Structure 1
Amino acid sequence: MGIVLGPNRYGKAQVRVVHVVRDGDRHTLRDLDVRTALAGDLAATHLTGDNSQVLPTDSQKNTVYAFARKHGVASPEAFALLLARHFVHSQPAVRRAEVAVREFGWQRLGQHSFQRGGAETRTATATYDGETVRVVSGLTDLVLLNTTNSEFHGFVRDEYTTLPETTDRILATAVDARWRHLDADADWDAAYRQVREALVAAFVETYSRSLQQTLYAMGRRVLEARPEVAEIKLSLPNRHHIPVDLSPFGLDNPNAVFVATDQPYGVIEGTVGRDGVAPADGDW
């Protein structure tokens, strides 16, 4: 039985770049973490140590900084697309480039003063193979909580089930969402804002009988709001809030005092897509 080299790629991770636009006294700040991954005709470096087709990862890092200066950072998606296309077109051996960007939020305090936001992290991944472009936007750690309008009952019970049924509970999660665009030409910042608004609105307005139901409602709201979104993947960890038994102290607890637990936790995952639109290959 022979031994062969399988799929491979290489790149630079955690390239931190902060870009400042100085428009008079009012400055604009974008804070990014960039990861590059290049694939193509690169077997020789693995098999024989021939590096003649290898663009060093340090060069990839420097490209990120240079492009931030030369082209600016209009949005995470636009910056990722710019880099992915550059690596494929400038390197004969590179057939496919994937550039993933995380953007950290800052809240404006003044013309040139900012406070690091404690909210979610925005993400974007652009993949280019010389012909096809795929753009996936996303966010992580969008923490949402409803203090009521959430139930969970009627579930399967077996000999190991101890969970009590409830018709009124706290529903809390930290949303991890990724949505794939049908094209590579959009107002990325506006699209991001509207998708985020749709996710939050659906969470707030859905009377939830399960976190699965809430997930579908959130995905559906996004697709209704943004026709250029082909599908959205959601991962919703269930951040449990358990009512504290206060009876040893002679006190009742009408859903007023809870203990928030982070381990172990349930996690609900699903994809909501458009009928007739083929799902993307692989785990994007």
Structure 2
Amino acid sequence: MAIVLGSNRYGKAEVRLVRVTRPGDTHGLVDLNVSIALSGDLAATHLTGDNAGVLPTDTMKNTVYAFAREHGVTSPEAFGLLLARHFVTTQEQVTGARISIESYGWERLGPHSFRRAGDYVRTARIFVTPDGTQVVSGLENLVLLNSTASEFRGFPRDKYTTLAETTERILATEVDARWRHRGDSADWDESFEGAKDALVNAFVNTYSASLQQTLFSMGTRVLDSRTELAEIRLALPNKHHYLADLSPFDLENPGEVYIAGDRPYGLIEGTVTRDDAPPASSEWYL
């Protein structure tokens, strides 16, 4: 039986970058966390320790900072594309580059003052390979809650089922969404804001018979409103809320006082896609 090296990659993870622009008295601020992973003809370093094809990860870190100065940062997608194409075109042994970026928002308080906006994290993943380029935008940690217009009933029961059916419940989740572009967007920021707004609007305006139904509604709303997108993947944890038992205190609880559950929680995942969507790179599924 032979033992062989399988797929592999290496890179620099979580390069923290803050870019300040100073065109005048009013400054701009970009705050990113950039991770780089390269693949290609890298077997020698694994099998023999020959590092002739191993671009130092420290060089990758330096490239992030140098590119931020030389090219600026207009959007995480555009910055990621610059980095990915640079590594693939300048390193003969590198045939694939994956750039993953988290973008942290800041709220302007004055010409040069900011407050961290912490309600979600914008994400971007860029893949450049011999098969082409793929851009995946998204967001994480977007917490949404409907205090009504949600139910869960009609489910199968067995001897271990204790959950009662309900026609009235709180529906809360923390959205993790990634959407794949058909090609390069004319305006990455406008595309992101439009997709985010579509997600939120669908959550707000969907009467939910299940979180699965809400997931499909959210994905459909994004694709209906954003023609530049091919498909969207969603992971929606069901953040359970339980009615507090106030009977020991001779108090009724008509759906007003809840215990916010931490764990365990239900996790609903799904992909919503166009039937004519171009095929995705295998990296999309990682």
Give me the TM-score of the superposition, normalised by structure 1: 0.98
SS at match of 1:134: strand
Between the aligned partners of 1:259 and 1:201, the Cα distance in structure 2 is 26
- Name the counterpart of 1:188: 188
Q: Is the 2:134–2:281 Cα contact (8 Å) retained in structure 1?
A: no
Identify if the C-alpha distance between structure 1 residues 279 and 158 changes in structure 2 by more than 3 Å, giving closer, same or farther.
farther
Q: Is the 1:35–1:99 Cα contact (8 Å) retained in structure 2?
A: yes
- Name the counterpart of 1:128: 128
Between the aligned partners of 1:109 and 1:150, the Cα distance in structure 2 is 37
Displacement of 1:278: 4.5
- Code of the aligned partner of 1:271: T
Q: Is the 1:273–1:279 Cα contact (8 Å) retained in structure 2?
A: no
- Code of the aligned partner of 2:21: V
- Name the counterpart of 2:199: 199
Task: State how 1:1-284 maps to structure 2 within 5 Å.
Answer: 1-130=1-130, 132-282=132-282, 283-284=285-286
SS at match of 1:236: strand
Give me the TM-score of the superposition, normalised by structure 2: 0.97
SS at match of 2:27: strand
Displacement of 1:262: 1.2
The runs of 5 or more residues in structure 1 that have no matched partner are none
Displacement of 1:37: 0.3
Between the aligned partners of 2:154 and 2:15, the Cα distance in structure 1 is 49
Displacement of 1:279: 4.7
Q: After superposing the two structures, state which structure 1 stretch, 122-131 or 28-37, moved more.
A: 122-131
The runs of 5 or more residues in structure 2 that have no matched partner are none
SS at match of 1:117: strand
Between the aligned partners of 2:225 and 2:202, the Cα distance in structure 1 is 11
Displacement of 1:276: 2.3
Between the aligned partners of 1:196 and 1:277, the Cα distance in structure 2 is 20
Q: Report percent identity of matched pairs.
A: 63
Q: Is the 2:185–2:228 Cα contact (8 Å) retained in structure 1?
A: no
Q: After superposing the two structures, state which structure 1 stretch, 194-203 or 128-137, moved more.
A: 128-137
- Code of the aligned partner of 2:197: E
Displacement of 1:23: 1.9
Q: Is the 1:85–1:130 Cα contact (8 Å) retained in structure 2?
A: no
Q: Is the 1:102–1:123 Cα contact (8 Å) retained in structure 2?
A: yes
RMSD over equivalenced CA pairs, Å: 1.0
SS at match of 1:151: coil
SS at match of 1:114: strand
Aligned residues: 284
